[in-house]
Structure formats: C-alpha cells, structure tokens
Structure 1
Amino acid sequence: MSTQKTARQRADTVEENAVRIDTEKAEQIVDALNRDLASTYVLYHQVRKHHWNVEGAESGDLHDFLDDAAGTLEDHADAIAERAQALGGVPVAGPAAQEEHAYVEFEGEDVYAIRDSLEADLEAYGDVIENVREHVGLATDLGDYATAELLREVLEDLEDDAHDIDHYLENDTLVQE
C-alpha cells in the first residue's frame, strides 16, 4: 500500500486536458486506451516468456523474433499510456489493474511446446488487433484524430507480427512431434 498522503489524481478518472478533447469523449477514449494498454502488457509478458523459453531447431530465429516483438509491444504500451495521460486520464500501471482491464488472459507460468506457445500468441494478437481496430474507429468518431493515428501505427505493427507468427506456424517449419 502506498505511503502517499494525497493522490493528485485518482485512477479511473479523467480530467480536463491540454489537447482540448471534451472530457466526456476523453473518458471513452481513455477507457479504450487503458484496455489496449493492459492487453498489450499481458501479451508482452507472454511473448517475453516465450522468448526466454524457446527451444528447438529454429530457436535462434524465434528467440530474436520474439525479442523484437516484445520490444515493439513494450514501445506501443508506453505510447498508449502517454496518450491516455495526455487526454487527462491515468494509465493502468499495476499488474492487478492490468489483469482487470485486459481483454486477453495470460496463459500462466507453465512452459509449453513452442508451436503451442506461438498459437496462443497468435490468438492473443488477434484479440488485440480486433480491439485496437475498433478503437481506431471510436477515436475517429469522437474527433480524436491523433489517438486514431497512434492506434493505426500500433495496429500496423501488431498485424505485421501476427503475420510473421502465422508464417512460423506453417507446416514446413517447426518440427512437429
């Protein structure tokens, strides 16, 4: 528990912002961004876990790919959090709040075969992609074109990494047991 005496801003609140997005609209956008942020971090931790545990014939390539993918997710999480803050919101930061806000679930601590791990990653990427795509539309509809543009950039990278994972899962790669 924090030893701080007074919170400057409570979590799950949105204040007026310098970018002049109406507070009611900003609340909707910040809520969506916080769900994207939380889900991106859940996916980040899962991809990072797979990066640490990858084994097998293609482990070198996969190790490098997963490291890059995790780095991209971390960069996007940071950008999403900063945008939520710029809109007057409080980005979800702690593991419990991230778990509560996320629309994807962490697979747990167990280690699985890399093919199974990548299939789980691809499924989670798909869920994040669908929601981010929806949030691009929400931001656009509410007149927040900067957030829409940020999310388009995030979406493009998510789709690229999902496409790469899909290629790793082709039948002519990754030895099947």
Structure 2
Amino acid sequence: MTTNSPSAHSSQPLLHQKGEVIQEFGTVKQFPIGLSYEARMYSCQRLNKVLADTQILYGLYKKHHWLMRGATFYQLHLVLDKHAGEQLELIDTIAERVQSLGGVALGDPRHVAEITSIPRPPDGVEEVPAMLSRLLEAHETILIDAHDATARTGELGDDGTNDLLVSQVIRTGERQAWFLAEHLVDTPLVRA
C-alpha cells in the first residue's frame, strides 16, 4: 500500500511547515548570567543597531571590492576583501552576544535596512576616492555609536558587551579606517 503522507520513519522531509513566533524581536528572556533585565535590554538594543550598521558595512566592502578600478586595483581589491571578511566575523560575534544576553539578533536584510543609519550608496560605480570615503564614513558612524554604547554598558555592569565593543568593534573599525584613509593621501610614488 502506498500513501502520500510520510510515516514517522520516512526519509521524506516535512515541507512547508509554519510556526508561531516564540520570542519577539526587541525582547529579552531571562538568563542566569548575573545581569539585570535593564542592562541586557539596553545592550541588545545597542548591539542590534551596531549589528545592522556592520552588516551594511560588510555589504559596502564587498560591493567596493568588486567595483575597484585604476592603478591601485589589485591592492585595494585584496584589502577590501580582507576587511569584508573581518566585518563578517564581527557580525557573527555581535549576533551571538545578543543571543547570549537573551535577545533576538537582527538577521533579516530587510529589517537591517530599516534600522541602519548608514546611507545607501548609488547603485552604480563611483570613483575610487568616493568609494573609500563612503567606507570611512560608515566606519565613523559605527565607531561613534560603539563609543557611546561602551560608556552606558560599562555603567550597567555589562562587561562582556563593553569588552566586545572595545576590543573587537572599535579596534577593528579604527584599524580598518586607518588603512582606508592612507589610500586617500595624495602623495607621489616617486620624486624626480
């Protein structure tokens, strides 16, 4: 006898399943990690903002990596890809911190677009200095937000979030901004 419904031991995947939302975005569940509800809620809100901006920065790095032009194409192509990879690692680290605080990490790109404060770039190809400047401005947006968030997370006793923001988000962002800014210095390669 054949049937169209899979049995309990069938290898047929149970497709098209639906479920209820079991935790709303913007909420935190209680975890026994020694932090108050207020501290965890604040940190999750701030981290999700940094997460949104970091996801946009990652996308900008990949876009500009693909669209590089000119005499420094190869060097910039490589450095932008390296920076994109580092931003991708930050995205995962930030999201895991939100989850470890009992929150819901921002993951849907459409939701990211609603929350980010980094302006959307043109759809086409900009000149190289404009692309680098756009990346620097995005870094500064994230760095200003991260510096502000570290002060408050420190006051609330959330050392883990504070450490993540300082040792990973801020230090990575400052180093990457330095590398980018040095490509915008108008210095001749050789003198006659």
Q: Distance in 1 between matches of 2:122 and 2:37?
A: 37
SS of 1:105's partner is coil
2:163 matches 1:149? yes
* 1:53 Cα deviation from its structure 2 partner: 0.8
Q: Distance in 1 between matches of 2:188 and 2:26?
A: 45
Could you give the per-residue CA deviations for residues 116-148 of structure 1, whole angstroms, max 9, x where no partner exists?
A: 100111111111111111111121111000110
- Paired residue for 1:161? 176
Task: For structure 1, list consecutive stretches of 5 or more residues without a partner in the other structure.
Answer: none
Residues 51/173 of structure 1: CA separation in 2 closer, same or farther (3 Å cut): farther
- Paired residue for 2:53? 39
Tell me which moved more, 50-59 or 101-110. Answer: 101-110
Q: Considering only CA atoms, is the larger Rg found in Structure 1 or Structure 2?
A: 2
Could you give the per-residue CA deviations for residues 136-162 of structure 1, whole angstroms, max 9, x where no partner exists?
A: 112111100011011112200100000
Misfit runs of 4+, over 4 Å: none
Contact 1:21 1:144 in 2 (8 A): yes
Equivalent residue for 1:137, pick from 136, 151, 155? 151
Q: Which residues of 2 match residues 110-129 of structure 1 at below 5 A?
A: 110-129=124-143
Instruction: Return the TM-score normalized by structure 1.
Output: 0.92
Q: Distance in 2 between matches of 1:108 and 1:77?
A: 24
The percent identity for this pair of structures is 29
Could you give the per-residue CA deviations for residues 60-108 of structure 1, whole angstroms, max 9, x where no partner exists?
A: 1101100011111111111010000000100110111111221212314
Instruction: Return the TM-score normalized by structure 2.
Output: 0.85
Contact 1:18 1:87 in 2 (8 A): no
2:100 matches 1:86? yes
Task: For structure 2, list consecutive stretches of 5 or more residues without a partner in the other structure.
Answer: 1-15
Residue identity opposite 2:104 in structure 1: V
* RMSD between aligned residues: 1.6
Q: Which residues of 2 match residues 63-74 of structure 1 at below 5 A?
A: 63-74=77-88
Q: Distance in 2 between matches of 1:100 and 1:21?
A: 29
Contact 1:40 1:77 in 2 (8 A): yes
Contact 1:139 1:147 in 2 (8 A): yes
Contact 1:16 1:88 in 2 (8 A): yes
